[in-house]
Chains A and B, each alone.
Chain A
Amino acid sequence: DTGVSQNPRHKITKRGQNVTFRCDPISEHNRLYWYRQTLGQGPEFLTYFQNEAQLEKSRLLSDRFSAERPKGSFSTLEIQRTEQGDSAMYLCASSPLESEAFFGQGTRLTVV
């Protein structure tokens, strides 16, 4: 098991474009979490899944953001019509039920 994998590691996009990130959790981890981390700040919770069900979404997750976890395996986070304020590190984590989360290395998004 190689841990939580996130792709791509870096993404540069022009304002207004759509981007999609992928997260592959540790196998058999039921829960998957998305966080956003801006420079000099701690991670902020965005949303989480238990298997394929999206159980909670933060108010930070505007309607331009959508996350999916088809079949309860990998997850994607899509940002539509990107804005400069979306520039951040997007972190994914996974955990078994009621156990600590393991984080991936993140995808750094730069919107120019």
Chain B
Amino acid sequence: AQSVTQPDIHITVSEGASLELRCNYSYGATPYLFWYVQSPGQGLQLLLKYFSGDTLVQGIKGFEAEFKRSQSSFNLRKPSVHWSDAAEYFCAVGPNQGGKLIFGQGTELSVKP
């Protein structure tokens, strides 16, 4: 079955601390992987995507993610979190770059001052 698992429902980090959000996927074909962010009452904004090439991809707002095929993982990282990063983060997988995606259940990030 095709699925995306985000093991952490809620994470709290201190402002300035580093962040890693976990994502594991199960997908039969070559996966196209995405991370989206959603602020309260808002739609989803694409942070970054991976489909080939360098397994470490850079995104917007200082985020990066690393694709590890052997672990079926695509974890999101940021070296130093800002209070404005507090939001819900979704990992997703699809058959191509388009919008037919399978999403994880999300990780809510809280940032302590």
Contacts and interface: CB of A to CB of B under 8 A. Distances in A.
Interface size class, chain B: 20 to 34
B90 A42 contact: yes
A56 B105 contact: no
Contact of A42 (B41, B46, B96, B104): B104
A42 B98 contact: no
Contact of A48 (B34, B100, B105): B100
Contacts of B36: 103
A41 B105 contact: yes
Given A103-B44, A106-B43, A98 B96 contact: yes
A102 B4 CA distance: 20
Interface string A93-112: 11101111111111010000
Contacts of B100: 33, 45, 48, 56
Nearest to A48: B100
Interface of B: 4, 9, 34, 36, 41-46, 49, 90, 92, 96-106
A91 interface: yes
8 contacts: A42-B92, A43-B90, A56-B100, A93-B44, A99-B97, A103-B36, A105-B41, A105-B42
A82 to B, nearest CB: 21
A97 B78 CA distance: 31
Top 4 A-B pairs, shortest CB-CB distance: A101-B99, A42-B103, A103-B43, A103-B44
Contacts of B9: 40
Interface size class, chain A: 20 to 34
B99 A100 contact: yes
B71 to A, nearest CB: 21
B98 A4 contact: no
A93 B106 contact: no
